[in-house]
């Protein structure tokens, strides 16, 4: 994949925004509340599937090599053993799928933006919850039920994620037409 300077800058910007989203964190059990999902969804909506996913790959790479950019100012390969790391893996796939859905037609529609945002949140949970279950129950031997994992890893976060979904969708719906009109569309 050959990238223009503008594309590299935008990828770096969304990597940075995801990092800022991680730093705005409220500790809440095994998984903190952060603004990361807002920027993951926006990366797919604004950058499209490939660049959105790339921004999240760069984010994860930087965190795994030791830059303390994950939630609670952590980083390093040991982050793989945190119950919340599955959600981070889901960021790549969510950004890609969000971009694919949002940019599937000739013109990005508000309907596609909303659907893409919702699907993106679901994708993050599809990666995060099984990983969380595995780490907490198989690696840490905590013996938590599936219902408990759903409560501590999903249900308490849904209202906030719904709010982030709304914000991302509104921002993208307002921003994309401006970018297209100015000839700055990414795709």
Reported as a single tens digit per residue, the pLDDT across 112-153 is 999 999 999 999 999 999 999 999 999 999 999 999 999 999
| pLDDT of 100 over the 80 cut | yes
The number of residues in the chain equals: 187
Please give the structure tokens belonging to residue 45: 């909506």
Q: Are 30 and 136 in contact (CB under 8 A)?
A: yes
Cα–Cα distance for residue pair 152/169, rounded to 1 Å? 26
Mean pLDDT in residue range 76-100: 97
For the purposes of burial, counting CB atoms within 10 Å of the CB of 31, is it exposed (0-12), middle (13-18) or buried (19 or more)? buried
| pLDDT of 168 over the 80 cut | yes
Cα–Cα distance for residue pair 161/8, rounded to 1 Å? 28
What mean pLDDT, rounded, does the chain reach?
93
Cα–Cα distance for residue pair 176/90, rounded to 1 Å? 24
| pLDDT of 94 over the 90 cut | yes
Cα–Cα distance for residue pair 8/13, rounded to 1 Å? 8
């Amino acid at each position: 994949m050959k990238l223009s300077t503008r594309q590299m800058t935008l990828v770096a910007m969304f990597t940075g925004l995801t990092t800022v989203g991680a730093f705005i964190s409220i500790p809440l059990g095994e998984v903190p509340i952060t603004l990361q999902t807002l920027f993951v969804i926006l990366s797919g909506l604004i950058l499209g599937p490939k660049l959105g996913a790339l921004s999240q790959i760069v984010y994860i790479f930087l965190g795994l090599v030791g830059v303390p950019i994950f939630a609670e100012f952590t980083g390093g390969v040991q982050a793989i053993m945190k119950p919340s790391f599955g959600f981070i893996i889901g960021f790549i796939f969510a950004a890609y799928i969000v971009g694919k859905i949002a940019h599937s037609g000739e013109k990005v529609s508000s309907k596609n933006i909303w659907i893409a945002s919702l699907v993106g949140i679901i994708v993050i949970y599809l990666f995060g919850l099984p990983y969380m279950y595995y780490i907490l129950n198989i690696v840490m031997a905590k013996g938590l039920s599936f219902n408990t994992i759903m409560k501590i890893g999903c249900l308490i976060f849904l209202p906030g994620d719904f709010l982030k979904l709304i914000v991302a969708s509104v921002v993208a719906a307002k921003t994309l037409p401006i970018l297209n009109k100015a000839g700055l569309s990414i795709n």
